[in-house]
């Protein structure tokens, strides 16, 4: 993507804390109105990157442009963004209404207009009657909604979310994920969110930037990240994966232990490496002539609510476990498992090779 | 990427045009921190350097060991060091076990009326260290109630020991209370599950968990005793100790070098204690895991009964001292004529400074508490919540901890040597109220700073970031959010500074002038002049003032805070 189109352009930003490299030449472009998630394990630098963009940490090198303007050296006040924290950071001594108005008062807006804006914002986050309450009287989810109203009230051009939902219960979290997503689209506000929860990133993001050791290892849509992970780390971090060591036999064939597997054309042409396959890609009701069809023993089955996870062992790969996720309907169609053995197939297009 | 080649220039221009209004917050925080650094340099570092050079330099040259040799050559000197060490160690050995029993009774038993015992035990903090000395004279002195018991030997070792025990008890108690408040109930459950006896549980669980506290209390009592001269000045008699000697050298004999040398000697145990204590605190922190369960004592009639008696006995002893001082101040001639009178409160017809001294003390206490609270709290906030260069941050941190390690006596001497120097442009401060306030703020800086830091650490670390994102200036968030949130801590700092300034003698004794004589110093002077009754009266007045102000701040302002800060109670309905 050409840099000129980016609303937020981060160029080769580095940040060290003593001997620890938190950010290593990170570049990232975010389009106007886009929601981007920074996703990675703890210590990968995602929070540091967000804080550098917010001006709360100063980068050692590199530049940050927003609206085509260099904001690299500006103090936080001059950067024009709203921010949400895991702790909500609501002022406990101010009412909900005063909290939402806090940023408006700094803009010198007339009082009546301010009141109007406050009730408008509270309406929008579905808390119209809470203006007179104190944050301590609200639940965690409600508090974070107030924090969202406060952040959006001055109409910033950028919204930064620092693990905003990590402190909430699963149910409230799922609800708020959709809520934030809805408001983000409604305001068409460019948004950057830090999270360590891959599901949350999948649900909310237009694009996800996967970070590892202070670098962005893949930046793409959730679907492409899931289907075509750029590195084994990404494949492992997002979703579940089965891994095999392989040797290349021909452009379309690899050997895994005693097995010979057909692979799709166009896979990287390395002689050996690791091969991965998503559990749900495994076909437990293969056609007789399906490629990569093998006999497996069912070691265990785990009920996961919406699906079953079968732990399998291929006859030709003793000792190596294989995970296969199977919907309840498919499982119902399985032949009455005699001696817990069945045929499975590893579809060609689902096998991805890494050197 | 081609389009980005042209960008840097225009970007730089944009940044340059924003430069003038750039980072008003950082400029404000930076200048305030620089001011704080200057203040600490001026009122702490330079006075300390002054006392060092006074002691170690001879007309600008390194004096080497000559002054020390001269000091030690005096045949009275080494025995005096021995007496100081001996009485300080004896006080620590007496106070720490008593305070441990007291703290154990409050934290680990179900003894009744705990807040009453606690309140009584903390009372000595509200009185100058001269009060126990006076009380001891009335109890065991030449005109004492129980004169025969001590047979005159109260003047000397035993008097100092008992007086310092009174004075240092609450200090030791506070350390041990907090040491005993940390207990992991799971360890006690495990011990009783394994069938350990109570004594064995105490030895293998309680004692190891509190050993740092015990050690810390021991060091603190030792240091407080060896650097205090209030008690030995009153009841020391011929039992001369270092602190009194330093005072006499400077105030009586104008031997500044000798005073400075002894001051430096007294700095040694204080610095050692300080270093050991901060080292131990780091270790203590690692001890208590976050998953620990709070220990709740269970009913145990015999133990609770015994500890109630211990609490009662110690409280009675402390109250007795205070009651005797108050009682003696209200009767004509203790103990022969017990007719009630207020004649000892007629300070204006006595030596020592009269009512002027009392009003001066009030002025000092008010000034110290107001100036100190503003400076120390704002300073703590700047250090905790704003970014600074590692150099500035670390320097400030070090300097705010330094006062804890400097005895008042040493700080006071440092002030004399620094501000009284004829070449010092700040010389005009000498003899005024400003220098007394400055010295008191520095003297009590660390404790107040730690209270502020604790409170600041409890509020959300992202408040400053959130307000910055809302484009609100830093100072506005400080006044509208931080200060209201930390109001209880600020009031506690105010109270602590007021009481400390009201009761202090050690630093200010070198700095007052006839116009700025203070109440606690008047006590000393009246006692010197043989007016023990008025000395007791003035001590009583100091105690009452501290008590009234403490209670006012605790209840009066406390309820005001609750009423005006509705959010504090509103949260609880949820």
Closest residue by Cα to residue B537 from B155, B161, B165, B138: B138
Q: Do A77 and B484 touch (CB under 8 A)?
A: no
**B22 pLDDT more than 80:** no
Q: Distance between CA atoms of B569 and B574, rounded to whole angstroms?
A: 10
Q: Is A62 helix (H, G, I), strand (E, B) or coil?
A: strand
**B409 pLDDT more than 90:** no
Per-residue pLDDT reduced to its tens digit, B543-570: 999 999 999 988 877 777 777 777 777 6
pLDDT band at B286 (very low <50, low <70, confident <90, very high): low
Peptide bond into B335 cis (omega under 30): yes
Q: Distance between CA atoms of B247 and B286, rounded to whole angstroms?
A: 42
**B282 pLDDT more than 80:** no
User: Which residues of chain A are under the pLDDT cut of 70?
Assistant: 1-5, 267, 269, 336-339
Nearest CA in chain A to B476: A106
β-strands A158-162, A82-85: how paired? parallel
The nearest CA of chain A is from the CA of B476 a distance in Å of 10
Nearest CA in chain B to A68: B11
| Cβ-based neighbour number of residue B41 at 10 Å | 14
**Least CB-CB distance to A134: which of B23, B466, B567?**
B567
**B13 pLDDT more than 60:** no
Q: Do B22 and A73 touch (CB under 8 A)?
A: yes
Q: Side by side, which strands form the sheet with A321-327?
A: A321-327, A307-314, A293-303, A341-345
pLDDT at site B287: 55
The nearest CA of chain A is from the CA of B487 a distance in Å of 11
Q: What's the CATH fold of domain B79-333?
A: MetI-like fold (1.10.3720)
The nearest CA of chain B is from the CA of A200 a distance in Å of 23
pLDDT at site B153: 78
Higher pLDDT, A309 or B237: A309
The nearest CA of chain B is from the CA of A180 a distance in Å of 18
pLDDT at site A2: 44
- Contacting A with CB below 8 Å, chain B residues are 1, 3-4, 7, 11-12, 14-15, 18, 21-26, 460-463, 465-473, 476, 480-481, 484-485, 565-567, 570-574
Nearest CA in chain B to A64: B11
Q: Do A87 and B470 touch (CB under 8 A)?
A: no
DSSP A268-323: ---SEEEEEE-GGG-BSS--TT-TTEEEEEEEEEEE-SSEEEEEEEETTSTT-EEE
Average pLDDT, integer, range B84-108: 95
Q: Do B22 and A150 touch (CB under 8 A)?
A: no
Nearest CA in chain A to B390: A18
Burial of B233-248, coded b for 16+ CB within 10 Å and e otherwise, reads bbbbbebbbbbbbbbb
The ranges of chain B annotated as CATH 1.10.3720.10 are 20-58+349-563, 79-333
pLDDT band at B18 (very low <50, low <70, confident <90, very high): very low
Alpha-carbon distances of A299 from A315, A326, B97, B555, rounded to whole Å:
12, 15, 65, 70
Q: Do A102 and B565 touch (CB under 8 A)?
A: no
Per-residue pLDDT reduced to its tens digit, B301-337: 999 999 999 999 999 999 999 999 999 899 888 778 8
Q: Using a CB-CB distance cutoff of 8 angstroms, which residues of chain B are in contact with residue A91?
A: 463, 480-481
Nearest CA in chain A to B27: A75
pTM of the model: 0.86
**B285 pLDDT more than 70:** no
**Least CB-CB distance to B485: which of A4, A92, A105?**
A92
The nearest CA of chain A is from the CA of B455 a distance in Å of 15
Per-residue pLDDT reduced to its tens digit, B213-224: 898 899 989 999
The nearest CA of chain A is from the CA of B381 a distance in Å of 17
**B12 pLDDT more than 80:** no
B-interface mutation test, from A70, A88, A140, most B Cβ less than 10 A away: A70
Q: Distance between CA atoms of B137 and A131, rounded to whole angstroms?
A: 65
Nearest CA in chain B to A17: B390
- What radius of gyration do chain A's Cα atoms show? 25
Average pLDDT, integer, range B56-81: 82
pLDDT band at B143 (very low <50, low <70, confident <90, very high): confident
Helix and strand numbers, DSSP H then E, in chain A: 9, 19
Q: Give yes or no for a contact between B175 and B102, defined as CB atoms under 8 angstroms apart.
A: no
Per-residue pLDDT reduced to its tens digit, B180-199: 887 788 888 888 889 888 88
Q: Distance between CA atoms of A193 and A47, rounded to whole angstroms?
A: 9
Q: Using a CB-CB distance cutoff of 8 angstroms, which residues of chain B are in contact with residue A65?
A: 7, 11
Average pLDDT, integer, range B371-398: 92
**B210 pLDDT more than 90:** no
Higher pLDDT, B294 or B375: B375
Per-residue pLDDT reduced to its tens digit, B467-497: 999 999 999 999 999 999 999 899 999 999 9
Q: Give yes or no for a contact between A207 and A33, defined as CB atoms under 8 angstroms apart.
A: no
Chain mean position to CA A14: 22
pLDDT at site B507: 86
pLDDT at site B5: 37
CATH 1.10.3720.10 given to domain B20-58+349-563? yes
Per-residue pLDDT reduced to its tens digit, A136-159: 999 999 999 999 999 999 999 999
Q: Do B472 and A63 touch (CB under 8 A)?
A: no
Q: Do B3 and A4 touch (CB under 8 A)?
A: yes
**B8 pLDDT more than 50:** no
Per-residue pLDDT reduced to its tens digit, B511-537: 998 889 999 999 998 988 888 889 999
Q: Do A102 and B470 touch (CB under 8 A)?
A: yes
pLDDT at site A129: 92
DSSP B197-214: -HHHHIIIIIHHHHHHHH
């Amino acid at each position: 993507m050409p840099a000129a189109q980016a609303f937020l352009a981060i160029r080769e930003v580095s940040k060290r804390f003593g001997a620890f490299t938190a950010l290593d030449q990170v570049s990232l472009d975010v389009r106007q109105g886009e929601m981007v998630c920074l996703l990675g394990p703890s210590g990968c630098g995602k929070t540091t990157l967000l804080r550098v963009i917010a001006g709360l940490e100063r980068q050692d090198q590199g530049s940050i442009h927003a609206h085509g303007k260099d904001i690299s050296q500006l103090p936080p006040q001059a950067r024009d963004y709203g921010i949400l924290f895991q702790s909500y950071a609501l002022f406990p001594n101010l009412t909900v209404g005063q909290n939402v108005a806090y940023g408006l008062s700094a803009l010198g807006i007339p009082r009546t207009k301010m009141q109007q804006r406050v009730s408008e914002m509270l309406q929008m986050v579905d808390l119209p009657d809470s203006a007179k309450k104190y944050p301590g009287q609200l639940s965690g989810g409600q508090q974070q909604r107030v924090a969202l109203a406060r952040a959006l009230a001055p109409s910033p051009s950028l919204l930064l979310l620092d693990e905003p939902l990590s402190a909430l219960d699963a149910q409230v979290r799922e609800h708020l994920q959709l809520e934030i997503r809805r408001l983000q689209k409604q305001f068409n506000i460019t948004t950057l969110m830090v999270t360590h929860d891959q599901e949350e990133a999948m649900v909310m993001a237009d694009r996800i930037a996967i970070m590892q050791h202070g670098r962005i290892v893949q930046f793409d849509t959730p679907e492409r990240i899931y289907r075509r992970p750029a590195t084994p780390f990404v494949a492992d971090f997002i979703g579940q994966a089965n891994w095999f060591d392989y040797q290349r036999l021909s452009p379309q064939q690899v050997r895994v232990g005693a097995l010979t597997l057909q692979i799709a054309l166009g896979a990287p042409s390395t002689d050996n490496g690791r091969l991965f396959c998503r559990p749900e890609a495994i076909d437990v009701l293969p056609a007789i002539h399906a490629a990569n069809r093998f006999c497996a023993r069912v070691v265990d089955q785990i009920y996961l609510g919406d699906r079953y996870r079968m732990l399998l062992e291929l006859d030709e790969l003793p000792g190596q476990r294989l995970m296969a996720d199977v919907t309840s309907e498919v499982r119902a169609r399985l032949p009455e498992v005699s001696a817990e053995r069945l045929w499975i197939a590893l579809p060609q297009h689902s096998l991805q090779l890494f050197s | 990427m081609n389009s980005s080649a042209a960008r840097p220039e225009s970007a730089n221009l944009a940044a340059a045009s924003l430069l003038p209004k750039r980072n008003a917050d950082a400029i404000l925080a930076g200048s305030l921190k620089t001011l704080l650094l200057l203040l600490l340099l001026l009122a702490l570092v330079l006075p300390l350097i002054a006392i060092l050079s006074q002691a170690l330099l001879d007309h600008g040259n390194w004096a080497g060991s000559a002054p020390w040799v001269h000091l030690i050559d005096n045949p009275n000197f080494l025995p005096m060091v021995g007496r100081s060490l001996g009485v300080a160690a004896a006080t620590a050995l007496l106070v720490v076990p008593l305070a441990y029993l007291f703290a154990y009774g409050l934290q680990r038993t179900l003894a009744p009326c705990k807040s009453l015992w606690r309140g009584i035990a903390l009372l000595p903090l509200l009185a100058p260290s001269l009060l126990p000395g006076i009380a001891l004279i009335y109890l065991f002195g030449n005109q004492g109630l129980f004169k025969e018991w001590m047979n005159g030997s109260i003047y000397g070792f035993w008097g100092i020991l008992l007086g310092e025990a009174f004075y240092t008890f609450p200090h030791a108690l506070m350390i041990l209370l907090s040491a005993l408040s940390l207990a992991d109930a799971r360890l006690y459950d495990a011990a009783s599950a394994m069938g350990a006896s109570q004594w064995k549980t105490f030895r293998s669980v309680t004692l190891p968990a509190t050993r740092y506290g015990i050690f810390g209390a021991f060091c603190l009592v030792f240091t407080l005793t060896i650097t205090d001269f209030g008690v030995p000045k009153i009841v020391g008699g011929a039992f001369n100790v270092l602190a009194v000697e330093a005072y006499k050298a400077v105030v009586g004999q104008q031997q500044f070098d000798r005073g400075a040398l002894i001051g430096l000697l007294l700095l040694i145990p204080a610095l050692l204690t300080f270093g050991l204590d901060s080292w131990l605190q780091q270790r203590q922190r690692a001890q208590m895991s976050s998953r620990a369960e709070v220990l709740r004592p269970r009913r145990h009639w015999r133990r609770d009964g015994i500890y109630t008696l211990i609490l009662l006995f110690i409280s009675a002893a402390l109250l007795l001292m205070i009651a005797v001082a108050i009682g003696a101040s209200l009767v004509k001639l203790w103990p022969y004529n017990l007719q009630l009178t207020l004649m000892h409160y007629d300070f204006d017809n006595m030596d020592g400074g009269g009512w002027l001294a009392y009003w001066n003390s009030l002025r000092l206490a008010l000034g110290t508490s107001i100036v100190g609270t503003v400076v120390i709290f704002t300073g703590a906030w700047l250090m905790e919540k704003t970014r600074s260069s590692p150099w500035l941050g670390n320097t400030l941190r070090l300097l705010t901890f330094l006062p804890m390690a400097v005895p008042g006596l040493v700080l006071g001497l440092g002030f004399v040597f620094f501000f009284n120097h004829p070449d010092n442009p700040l010389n005009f401060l000498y003899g005024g109220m400003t220098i007394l306030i400055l010295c008191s703020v520095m003297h009590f800086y660390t404790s107040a700073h730690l209270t502020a830091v604790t409170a600041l650490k409890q509020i959300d670390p992202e408040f400053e970031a959130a307000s910055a994102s809302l484009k609100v200036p830093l100072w506005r968030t400080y006044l509208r959010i931080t200060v209201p949130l930390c109001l209880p801590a600020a009031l506690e700092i105010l109270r602590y500074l007021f009481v400390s300034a009201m009761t202090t003698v050690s630093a200010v004794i070198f700095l007052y002038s006839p116009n700025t004589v203070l109440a606690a110093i008047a006590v000393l002077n009246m006692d010197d002049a043989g007016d023990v009754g008025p000395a007791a009266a003035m001590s009583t007045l100091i105690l009452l003032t501290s008590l009234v102000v403490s209670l006012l701040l605790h209840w009066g302002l406390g309820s005001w805070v609750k009423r005006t800060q509705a959010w504090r109670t509103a949260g609880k309905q949820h």
